[in-house]
Amino acid sequence: MNISALFKIKDHLSVFKENHPKFVPEARKVFAKGFCEDQEIAIAVRYPDGTEYKMGVRVKDSDLPFLDSVKELLTK
């Protein structure tokens, strides 16, 4: 990923934070508590037509550096 792509992500994240003011504070609580191996992360996506997708991952030790990077994006 190049630097300009990172800046775009930061810009889009700023707009997302404005549009969804409750999301980032809740995410910060999760990141403050931290991640650990064997933890489950679950996400549900519901569309207006009623379609729903649920997915989950069990965190591996090798996932922790990625989650730390996401934490840096969300907590600044």
Domain of 35? 3-74
Residue 73 has pLDDT above 80, yes or no: no
State whether residue 64 is helix, strand or coil.
Answer: helix
Residue 67 has pLDDT above 70, yes or no: yes
pLDDT-derived band at 18 (thresholds 50, 70, 90) equals very high
User: What pLDDT is recorded for position 31?
Assistant: 83
Q: 59 versus 5: which is more confidently predicted?
A: 59
Which phi and psi angles does 4 have, rounded to 5°? -65, -35
pTM of the shown model: 0.65
Q: Using alpha carbons, list the distances in angstroms from residue 7 to 3, 24, 58, 73.
A: 6, 18, 30, 11
pLDDT-derived band at 11 (thresholds 50, 70, 90) equals confident
Mean local confidence (pLDDT), 44-62:
97
- What is the domain count for the chain? 1
